[in-house]
Amino acid sequence: MISLDHSPVHSDPKVLGGTLVFRGTRVKAQTLFDYLDAGDSLEDFLADFPTVNRDDATLFLKLAREESYSG
């Protein structure tokens, strides 16, 4: 499981009912996966959600990839 201690995403019951979001935003982490699954680029996602910074998005993808390989 992805550790949320040093992650660019977090879950807070007071923010979107505890849905995993990028820190400091209300952008669901799942939205990044949805964009990529639909064939959109990371650039498209970042343009549509400017409150998410590139480093956080790429770190989240890296952590998710590592999790999928270890699980």
Task: State the CATH number of the domain containing residue 64.
Answer: 1.10.10.10
Whole-number pLDDT of residue 16:
86
Note whether residue 1 is domain-resident. Answer: no
Q: Above pLDDT 90, what percent of the chain?
A: 65
Whole-number pLDDT of residue 70:
62
**Phi and psi, residue 21, nearest 5°:** -130, 160
Mean pLDDT of 16-36: 94
pTM across the whole model = 0.83
Alpha carbon distances (Å) from 14 to 17, 50, 65: 6, 22, 28
In the predicted structure, residue 4 carries a pLDDT above the cut 90: no
Instruction: Tally the domains of the chain.
Output: 1
Q: Are 49 and 27 in contact (CB under 8 A)?
A: yes
Note whether residue 2 is domain-resident. Answer: no
CA 24 to chain CA centroid, nearest Å:
12
